[in-house]
Amino acid sequence: MSLNPVLTAVTDRVIERSARSRRHYLDLIAREKDAGISRPHLACGNLAHAFAAAGEDKAGIRAQRAMNIGIITSYNDMLSAHQPYGRYPDQIKLFAREVGATAQVAGATPAMCDGVTQGQPGMELSLFSRDVIAMSTAVGLSHGMYEGVAMLGICDKIVPGLLMGALRFGHLPTILIPSGPMPSGISNSEKQRVRQLYAEGKVDRERLMDAEAASYHAPGTCTFYGTANTNQMLMEVMGLHLPGSSFVPPNTKLRQELTRAAIHRLTQIGPNGNDYRPLGHCVDERAIVNAAVGLLATGGSTNLAIHIPAMARAAGIIIDWEDLDRLSAVVPQLTRVYPNGSTDVNGFHQVGGMSSLIGSLLDAGLLHPDILTVTEGGFTRYRTAPHMRDDRLVWEEAGPSRDDTVLRAPANPFRKDGGMRLMQGNLGRGIYKTSAVAPERWTIEAPARIFEDQQDVIDAFKAGELDRDVIVVVRFQGPAANGMPELHRLTPTLSVLQDRGHKVALMTDGRMSGASGKVPAAIHIGPEAHAGGPLSRLRDGDMVRVCARSGRIDVLMDAAQWEQRTPATGPRGGFGTGRELFALMRDGVDSPERGASAILAAMDHMAEAEGLS
């Protein structure tokens, strides 16, 4: 099957735009491979420090005859998704020894959970934790002790941060190893029903607590298709996981054997073998476009509209929201996974999952088949699924979906487009996820009600002030203002208003991820209000139109009158919960469309000063 011409055109656009920065990136990792820090370049004292506690692996590390694998782990046992990683380092060391290699924990990274910090001050650290994770990864790998990297991470900012950090050591082969989703709990529709009842005051906190605890109840990733599981999909369509490994449950024989196979494979793609596959060459422009296609085909989290540009920039690649918008016009939506449907990721996996999805997208010419993956056999291997047969790990052709209410082929999609629109107008530039919103709600025209904190929205709702057609504007929520926290606490409230028959939409320079639900939302709007962006000039009662059909976000007023408006000034991230430690991040961050990263912005300034960009 020939490639879709729009896929080809967008890829060519990305390649052309990235030509200079990508060339400098590839030059960097080539220099690092040949002359950068590595075990052969370390002095005896350096090496002795590094293997002093290595036990039975000490002799192997000292002799430097085989790969030493650096493990970067995001383990903690407070977060269900990362709790299974506690046993992985010991297992990985055993698996490495089976093939004559060694492994050491190179470093650990923080792992924040947006679910735990939702609506709390700590959420203002969440997006910037991605930069911290990238830097933590770089610290671990800076010792130069490793010829390959095993990365253990799952959730929202963790996978993008791990990849951003590891790409600066892109001469090293790298495999990401997932831990898998928890078993399914109560249905997502029931969880959402109880949340709305609580928002309306019809059930008490104990009933809400029971529902939440029945949903999030065991080790493993949350099972709705939010940012964490979108990350896992992304790593597979980029060829950075072993085929079919994204959604295999934790604490199973299959999960363990996939980890063993990943470590064995990592030892085969090192710089001293005949199948060298450095991370920086695996993550090229085609892999980044594949990531965007996967996001659109699955109706994944809009947080990836920020993370994909950031991960790409770490590899010298520039992709923007116009690229996503163009791809969305031709990439059909092929899945219905909550919040876009009633089934969770376990149900998606059981009916064919990633292997069936990738196979159908390849057949339709909607994925680049020639990307360099971490597995032998190329990207076509990713249409196979892993199974245990006679106590052995094997991969078998997945075939088509076994349930077209959950997963379909491109010839029979749920939607003909990918459900993500670039929104532009006199109110700025943002993103709108149409895939979870009923088409009759794609255009909302109503008076604006302006807020600068999501709690104020909830208070106004409880006071009956929003029981009407309204476009709720929550501003001063961008990365430079307060770190761009998620605004999920608004979803039940706005859903209640919508269910009462009102025309309701949300506009914000903040974030709403893949769990944002059924309410129309124009999000990530920039320039943000803190920088004097258009949202800062809105006033209560201004007539605003949000139209996903035309891709427009506009205030309906005379242009001259609009331009004369004085921008409002709002609050910024304050003290407490460690937020003051992230002031330098807020001061240095760039726009969400470029990845909302302070460290990448600073890196680009350095490159520009040295004539490298």
Q: Is the peptide bond before 250 cis (omega within 30 degrees of 0)?
A: no
Quick check: 317 and 205 in contact, CB under 8 A? no
Q: Which residues pair with 508 in a beta bridge?
A: 474
Question: What's the CA gap between 185 and 213, in Å, rounded?
Answer: 9
Quick check: 537 and 561 in contact, CB under 8 A? no
Nearest to 396 by CA among 336, 439, 369, 356: 356
Map residue 567 onto helix, strand or coil: coil
Q: At what angle do helices 188-199 and 490-499 cross, to 10 degrees?
A: 80
Written as one letter, the residue type at 24 is H
CA distances from 90 to 152, 260, 522 (A): 13, 12, 46
Rounded to the nearest 5 percent, the helix, strand and coil shares of the chain are: 45, 15, 40
Sequential DSSP letters for 22-43: HHHHHHHHHHHHHHSS-GGGS-
Question: What's the CA gap between 495 and 91, in Å, rounded?
Answer: 46
Question: What's the CA gap between 259 and 337, in Å, rounded?
Answer: 26
Q: Which residues pair with 555 in a beta bridge?
A: 544
As given in the structure block, the two tokens for residue 219 are 């080790």
Q: Are strands 543-547 and 443-451 parallel, antiparallel or unpaired?
A: antiparallel
155 carries a ligand binding annotation: yes
Question: What's the CA gap between 527 and 589, in Å, rounded?
Answer: 12
Side-chain half-sphere of 137: how many Cα atoms within 13 Å? 33
- Tokens 């009933």 label which residue? 207
List the strands of the sheet with 102-108, edge to edge. 102-108, 68-73, 148-152, 174-177
Sign of CA dihedral 401, 403, 407, 411: positive
CA angle (30, 596, 299) in 5-degree steps: 95
Question: What's the CA gap between 234 and 597, in Å, rounded?
Answer: 20
- Tokens 């009633």 label which residue? 342
As given in the structure block, the two tokens for residue 589 are 């961050």
222 carries a ligand binding annotation: yes
Map residue 72 onto helix, strand or coil: strand
Q: Tell me, rounded to whole angstroms, the distance of Cα 258 from its chain centroid.
A: 22
The CA R_g of the chain, rounded to the nearest whole Å, is: 24
Q: Which residues are annotated as a binding site?
A: 155, 222
Q: Which residues are annotated as a binding site for [4Fe-4S] cluster?
A: 155, 222
